[in-house]
Amino acid sequence: MTADASGGTAGNEADRSGAGAGESDPTSTSKAGRGGSASGSGGRGFGGASAHGGSADGGTTSAGAAGEAGAGASELCTPGTMRCNTVREHCDDSGVWVEESFVCATDITGSVEQGLVCAVKSDGRMTCFGPSFDLYSAPLLAAAPARKWSKLILTDDVGDKTDHDLCGIDKNGGGVCWGQTSNRSVGGPLTQIAPGSQGLCVVSADGALKCLVDDGIVGPIAADSGPFQDLLIRDGYLFGLGVSGTVSVPYPQFALPSGVYSQISGSDRELCAVRLDHELFCAPTALPPALAAQRFLQVVIDDGGRLCAIREDHTVVCDSLGAGPNPEPPSGEFKQLVMPSGGICGIRTDGSIGCVGVNAPVPPADW
């Protein structure tokens, strides 16, 4: 086998807590777990959940993780803190979690070659958005099947070469991919879809890999590297993350140090991955020492070789890996990131979406 997806909403309810790598109760003292795609996801929360890029979806487990909304009503908390898994909750002056009406964003995906981002809320609604001059989001939203979504994945080069610009997995595990004028089922139940300009691959619920379209995917991925929890296609390069934590790469120069990995993000220039012990590694360009000494929950890298990563305290740091000036990281606390062309977007720990950058996408007001 050879190897390598304006405001508006569509769809409605899918419960997907832990959608992004490093997603956790921000009040938690336990930070161990498996990362989630971006797709990157760009990046997405991975670990069988969203990347794209991440974002991956793929969060950490938290102490007393009745972190699902409503389950923590009897938990004592630190007044003034906030969390968001299903609906946003704040800790009142008496130390009790109080639900708000804001519905949490749980998954996000970005196109690394276009300034486009799509996201899902915990009730299954979806949206896509771009910068003020965006031409892609409205047609993709208009063509979206009426489903309750748990995960979305944008292809690496939206609108030019494929009929599968955006793919989604619904609450039942069913997969579908669509462009501006067509859509098709890609089977199910699925845990991941890897769409790219050179092909389309999926991961079934048992971790099996199948490439439904291969127009020059670069590989191969070793047969014994599965079952898989995540896949990425970036400019025809297919990267895989096994359920065992092994990382499969299209060429030896992307090989990472040994260890059990929880989340990956890649391009045709670089591969970066977070290990289960929260160490971050990249290849072929090594991290600068100051960055390598830190610990992270999620990483996302763009097609120019620039990366941003979420630290254990949920703050974000960015680096160019020698490719130019460092990107300006978003302020605040995040649990999932993507790097679309022209900006950086992510899901904050309060469940809202924030974007920064010269031509950053602009999320709808209620997201």
Q: What is the pLDDT of residues 181-190, one digit of tens each?
A: 788 999 999 9
Peptide bond into 227 cis (omega under 30): yes
Assign 346 a pLDDT band (cuts: 50, 70, 90): very high
Nearest to 138 by CA among 159, 160, 153: 159
Assign 193 a pLDDT band (cuts: 50, 70, 90): very high
What is the structure's pLDDT at 224? 66
Distances (CA, A) of 86 to 52, 80, 90, 103: 21, 19, 13, 6
Q: Is 214 exposed, middle or buried (0-12, 13-18, 19+ CB in 10 A)?
A: middle
* DSSP states along 269-308: S-EEEEETTS-EEEESSPPPHHHHTS-EEEEEE-TTS-EE
Asked if residue 194 has pLDDT above 50, the reply is yes
Assign 339 a pLDDT band (cuts: 50, 70, 90): very high
Structural domain spans, the chain? 105-356
Those residues with Cβ within 8 angstroms of residue 109's Cβ, 6 or more apart along the chain or in another chain: 5, 37, 38, 39, 40, 41, 42, 44, 50, 51, 52, 53, 54, 55, 117, 118, 119, 152, 153, 154, 338
Stretch 46-69: mean pLDDT, rounded?
36
What is the structure's pLDDT at 200? 93
**What is the per-residue pLDDT across 108-133, written as a single tens digit (0 to 9) for each?**
999 888 889 999 999 999 999 999 88
* Percent residues over pLDDT 70 in the chain: 77
- The CATH architecture one would assign to domain 105-356 is 7 Propeller (2.130)
